[in-house]
A and B are shown apart, each in its own frame.
Chain A
Amino acid sequence: MDGKVIVVTSGKGGVGKTTVTASVGAALAKQGKRVAVLDMDIGLRNLDVVMGLENRIVFDVVDVIQGRCKLRQAALKDRRIENLYLIPASQSDEKSVIKPQNMTWLCNKLRREYDFALLDCPAGIEQGFKNAIEAADEAIVVCTPEVSSVRDADRVIGLLYARSITPRLIVNRIVPKLVEKGDMLSHADVVDVLSIDLLGLVEMDDAVVVSSNTGNPLVQQKDSRAGMAFNRVAMRLDGHPDLPVEDPMAGRSFWQKVGKKLGRKDRTAKR
């Protein structure tokens, strides 16, 4: 059966596309799938560093497209996780060296070789973005609970719909304490404004920074709430579409805390 090509995009930079691509890719591979993650940020590669593979690059995605190597030669095997491969971006080319028709060709090859291919999209909505969404089957839109990020997400969602792709949303960098104080948009606010299906909710988590320092996969850290959230996203993408999205606010409201102190075990999500 043919695999799926999923583009990870956001409009705004710095909201977590690369983190999502690396972590969800790793989580899908842990579940036994054959996974490729592709850095489509031509000229500004960084998925390789996040995954700790920066010293092993020989060929890149532009080499594949221009026929200088085979897809398999450019795919770097992950050091820790079986069945996970990185196809890095080229560091010296410009985004315009890739044309939309190249993407159609590449995505067809990816579907044949892998169960899942995740494309880490560059920021913006220009050529690099257009290339990344050109031949994708599905899309994950990432945003943070901030006005500018949600606004950009809305724009990108519109552009995806125009290409007949119905995206799903990951809200990243949620700080439950701030939401509780009334100083951060809640995920319910974001979903309400964007009216789009939710794929995952990820808290702000120091482990994300630590993992990107060391290049060790976040999803292998059992005590990381963000890592666990990404594992659940991967389950939703692969075989468990109805796995409920865990509410980071669960068990945080004043009355639930009092309840817990009194020994009640009610941790259902209320908003």
Chain B
Amino acid sequence: MTFHSLIKKLLNKPDSSRNVAKKRLQFALVYDKLEVRDDMLEDLQQDLVEVITRYFEIDRDALSLDIQRMEGSSALILNTPILAAKHRKEGGARAHA
């Protein structure tokens, strides 16, 4: 570290309001982008049910789909009771997998 950059570091402490502003901004932008509209969540739920019911019999009314937020990240949580697995015939989509 040169003398110059040392002085700069001392003058521009990590907790200067400028740096606080930048950190808050970076978090806010990440957070804003995680926001999901309700109607999009509903569409997603319909699409997911359609796919899942190809493989399982499920209780559609008991299914829940939520977004859980944690600091800096978020998770999509799907919870559904399975009533039965569907037995697929030979030659199904996954036959060659």
Contacts and interface: CB of A to CB of B under 8 A. Distances in A.
Interface of A: 146-147, 150-151, 154-155, 179, 181-186, 189, 192-193, 253-255
Contact of A255 (B4, B12, B16): B4
Contacts of A186: 18
Given A182-B11, A254-B7, A255-B4, A147 B19 contact: no
20 contacts: A151-B29, A151-B32, A154-B29, A155-B32, A179-B18, A181-B16, A182-B17, A182-B18, A183-B17, A184-B17, A184-B18, A184-B21, A185-B18, A185-B22, A185-B25, A193-B22, A193-B25, A254-B7, A254-B11, A255-B4
B26 interface: yes
Contacts of B32: 151, 154-155
Interface in B14-36: 16-19, 21-22, 24-26, 28-29, 32
A147 B25 contact: yes
A150 B13 CA distance: 22
A183 B16 contact: yes
Given A154-B32, A254-B7, A147 B18 contact: no
Given A147-B25, A193-B22, A255-B4, 5 more contacts: A147-B21, A147-B28, A154-B32, A183-B16, A184-B17
| Closest A-B pairs by Cβ, 10 of them | A182-B16, A182-B18, A182-B12, A189-B22, A183-B17, A147-B25, A185-B21, A147-B21, A154-B29, A151-B28
Contacts of A181: 16
A182 B7 contact: no
Contacts of A154: 29, 32
A150 B25 contact: yes
Contacts of B16: 181-183
A179 B7 CA distance: 16
Contacts of B25: 147, 150-151, 185, 193
Given A182-B13, A254-B7, A189 B28 contact: no
